[in-house]
Copies of this chain bind each other. A is one copy, B any other.
């Protein structure tokens, strides 16, 4: 689906860091044509005019380094140990990614030892609560059919020096970090610390965010599954709404800063009448306010379905002196779902209009299920390409999907930024066209 593309300024440096020259012949038994070269660049813009402008000025249009197997690799597979860590909230497909990394490393490259650090970055520290889990084909057998992560996860950062020492202790040469923008921030800092300590360790990110809000990436795994699951809650809200006179079904979905899940699920269901997301401010009161619009909808149809992303309308809920953050540094949101429910009840009570509100918060159920087929395939490609990148000695980067291809993107491109719905594009216009 159409996505927001970073601005020209931001796209100036898409170069990928490398640990050094890759001199070892890849053990992959592929035809020459199937290996990928760093300069087989993939255009950021699919727009013809946009690219022409660059070419007309004899400049190179912004483009990503392609992902894929390299003819020459940096590490000797037989000598290295690799590590995997999963951070932040769980997401459908985590186990698919873990499994693919392990099988690709061991079956395709011949790496002998892969360690799974336990419970997020905490597991790569001297204070780890559990020893790393040794991963092999038998341990990862059929784990892809389960939700969650067999490694466990956690939020929060650790002492960088301690982490790099832990990596050295376990002889890790490639670390695969599966997480979101907070995790990537940590991964980038680990890269800096590795350099400071003069080590040659590759750190490869695999973007994981149920919200689909990683910058410079088209689709992240788990998102399609979450949208599919969210549909059930909307269907429930719809039946509850229709079953009562002036019935209102209200569903709160994940989406702290970006409303992709709320929007995707609303587009997929077509029974939603109001879709509220963080990117598009709205007022409660006034003639064009949400409550009046809801009233008009009830007058017309006697029932309504509302989907609200958790990060929507935060400004409606009053100021508090201090912003509360969780251990990953994410701002803790006030509960817009509960707030809306109360506001709706009060509004109609004042107007003496009988209504029934049914509030549904599927919360963790949309992120803890196994990946659907679409996401499983995505995870497979993410995992394989992450291994190719790491073996080739790339570092400080993550794997991204773009224009039906997979690319390398510097970690810094996705830190402190989030992909958001652009209310000016077709995606959001479609929501406007099918709701209310």
Contact = CB atoms under 8 A, between A and B. Distances in A.
Contacts of A110: none
A327 to B, nearest CB: 10
Interface in A91-136: 96, 99, 103-104, 107-108, 118-119, 122, 129-130
Given A41-B48, A47-B43, A270 B153 contact: no
Nearest to A2: B404
Interface stretch (A18-26, A76-84, A233-241): A233-241
A48 B34 contact: no
Interface in A317-350: none
Nearest to A359: B363
Interface string A408-436: 00000000000000001110011001100
Chain B CB count within 10 A is highest, among A2, A149, A228, A376, for: A376
Interface stretch (A171-179, A201-209, A306-314, A365-373): A365-373
Contact of A362 (B46, B118, B365): B365
A154 interface: yes
B236 A365 contact: yes
Interface stretch (A191-199, A260-268, A278-286): A260-268
Contacts of A144: 270
Contacts of A426: 34, 68, 381
Interface residues of A, number: 98
B154 A377 contact: no
B46 A51 contact: no
A374 interface: yes
A276 interface: no
A185 interface: no
B267 A365 contact: no
Contacts of A31: 424
Contacts of A361: 361, 363
Contacts of A425: 34
A147 B360 contact: no
A426 B31 CA distance: 11
Contact of A244 (B103, B154, B228, B240): B154
A436 to B, nearest CB: 10
A270 B137 CA distance: 12
A203 B321 CA distance: 61
Contact of A63 (B41, B48, B240): B48
A148 interface: yes
A310 to B, nearest CB: 14
Contact of A430 (B41, B46, B146, B380): B380
A397 interface: no
Contact of A42 (B47, B146, B224, B433): B47
17 contacts: A30-B429, A39-B49, A40-B49, A41-B47, A42-B48, A51-B51, A122-B245, A148-B243, A149-B243, A152-B243, A232-B369, A240-B364, A268-B377, A269-B376, A362-B362, A384-B430, A384-B433
Given A34-B425, A384-B433, 4 more contacts: A152-B243, A224-B373, A240-B364, A268-B373
The 9 A-B pairs with the shortest beta carbon distances in the complex, nearest first, are A148-B239, A41-B48, A268-B373, A55-B55, A236-B368, A46-B403, A239-B368, A147-B239, A236-B365
